[in-house]
Amino acid sequence: MFECLKREGVEVIFGFPGGSVLDLYHEMTNHDIRHILVRHEQGAAHMADGYARATGRVGVCLVTSGPGATNTVTGVATAYADSVPMVIITGQVPTAMIGDDAFQEVDIIGITRPCTKHSYLVRDVNDLARVIKEAFYLARTGRPGPVLVDLPKDVQQAQADFRYPRRIDLPGYHPTVEAHMGQIKRAYQFIKKARHPVLYIGGGVVHSGAYDELVRFAEMTRIPVTGTLMGLGSFPATVTDAAGRKEPHPLWLGMLGMHGTFRANMAVSHSDLLIAVGARFDDRVTGKISGFAPKAKIVHIDIDPTSISKNVEVDIPIVGDCKNALEKLIQMVEAEPIEGLDELRAPWAGQIHEWRETYPLAYTQDSDVIKPQFVVDTIYRVSNGDAVITTEVGQNQMWTAQYYLFDRPRRLLTSGGLGTMGYGLPAAIGAQVGMPDRLVVDIAGDGSIQMNIQEVITAVCNCLPVKVAILNNRYLGMVRQWQELFYQKNYCGTCLDASPDFVKLAEAYGAVGLRATKPEEVEPVLREAFSINKPVLMDFVVSPEEGVYPMVPAGKSISEMLLV
């Protein structure tokens, strides 16, 4: 097992021991693989996820059978929804006892089948090397995702000669990497004629490493770019001028969708060509399908053929790797430059500039109460936009997407598809393990941080200086916002007046606790936290009823935004 993991480049495992994996833990000390002991198996899955997203490598977690395995399911489903490459190794009762309701037996293969890319139950030790090689290959190729390997105790104790396969032979699994040139040419004819085009990018651009190609293609064709939550950082939000000052990138529209910018939602709604790259037309992006880009021809580039025309019918499907497709489009632009590009695209650029100036993302910090947007904005300024940011889920997540300007991929780690509260802290720990020299900050809510707050001690014990910025509004903020707008302000189950003292809680875990209750205290607290080489929890007491805007109500098109 461990020789296989080393062959796959595994340097760290996030795990929690138990009876059915004791043999693996007994052997682990003989191998140069770092083990991070978590305090809950869900934390192990999220740490492996955060490690994978931050580094681009496959994350690995190891847990025991039964409840140990089931505790990972939320983390596995999170990774599956966001296409994160992970291998989850679970212990299992001996093969002879499978199906007998033995102590700590569950059918983890059956339980996770809907939320894994593939799963294996290893019944013969002679199959183990092949299974591990296949698991890592499946996890990292095509549309990435989690793969589970269930390992019975008697198989762990069995012996076999080590032979690691040289080749992978998986009939029926042959991801299409090369984009079809005929479809590329068809798409480029649309691009040459479009007057109101928009590039709509998602997490597939991150996974394929297509950042440089995307920037070059957009700038060559002067097509404005909007991104999903998972696509943020795939196109730079800012550019640096000659004096070293950051300015908004003229082609960047910001995030689109339910809490997208006015300019992004309006640009998509008025586009005549929408080029989707590595995105899957999620409902949080499209709003009412009939009102989504109603006048646009749609080109969809994705390595997963099942994602194309799944939610929105497209005019030109292009199955292939995003990087490969963009490289071919760049070749088309170089071979056949767009005639009259200035005249063709200048009016569209002017319209987008007008939307940007008329309805910008904005907040006013004009009172003694801290605005949560101000905290995120200050984190951006103090970190110079160069931190690895994780988030929990809810208002904290959306304010981060709106006010922290991401210029590079793998800088925002967040649960997009599943929306998992409790994700941010363990993901930050995983990211810090993978990126030990980087500043890693979890922007959290006071509700979601408590779902996996036990992992503070994991950071402390492993000397991982993650920073947690808690936007403490004493509510489950996003749910409260929906209750305010659509449920007659019936705040049932969303008030958190009984939250703990986060400063004392941090100190109890051996971390550092800091608090800010006034706007003028925000920056000093952040600077102090960032200077401390230990885990720090920062409690920012913010305006309790601040909302996230723009907001598209459920069932409305993305052009029908609530702005205040």
Structural domain spans, the chain: 2-157, 181-358, 372-541
Provide the residue type at 481 as one letter. Q
Res 350: pLDDT: 97
How many CA atoms are closer than 13 Å to the CA of 309, on its beta-carbon side? 9
Q: Do domains 181-358 and 372-541 have the same CATH topology?
A: yes
Is 104 one of the annotated active-site residues of the chain?
A: yes
Segments in the chain below pLDDT 50 = none
Res 512: pLDDT: 98
The catalytic position among 47, 332, 451, 478 is: 478
The catalytic position among 1, 8, 16, 41 is: 41
Number of Cβ atoms within 10 Å of the Cβ of 245: 9
Is 103 one of the annotated active-site residues of the chain?
A: yes
Is 189 one of the annotated active-site residues of the chain?
A: no
Res 497: pLDDT: 85
The domain covering 2-157 belongs, at the CATH homologous superfamily level, to Thiamin diphosphate (ThDP)-binding fold, Pyr/PP domains (3.40.50.970)
pTM over cut 0.75: yes
- Secondary structure element (H or E) that encloses residue 467, with its range: strand 467-472
Mean pLDDT of the residues in the chain: 97
Is 41 one of the annotated active-site residues of the chain?
A: yes
H/E/C letters for each residue in 326-354? HHHHHHHHHHCCCCCHHHHHHHHHHHHHH
| Domain boundaries 181-358, CATH class | alpha beta
Is 323 one of the annotated active-site residues of the chain?
A: no
CATH 3.40.50.970 fits 372-541, yes or no: yes
The catalytic position among 27, 103, 181, 545 is: 103
Res 564: pLDDT: 87
User: What does each C-alpha distance from 107 to 93, 99, 249, 300 come to in angstroms?
Assistant: 10, 8, 50, 38
The catalytic position among 2, 97, 104, 246 is: 104
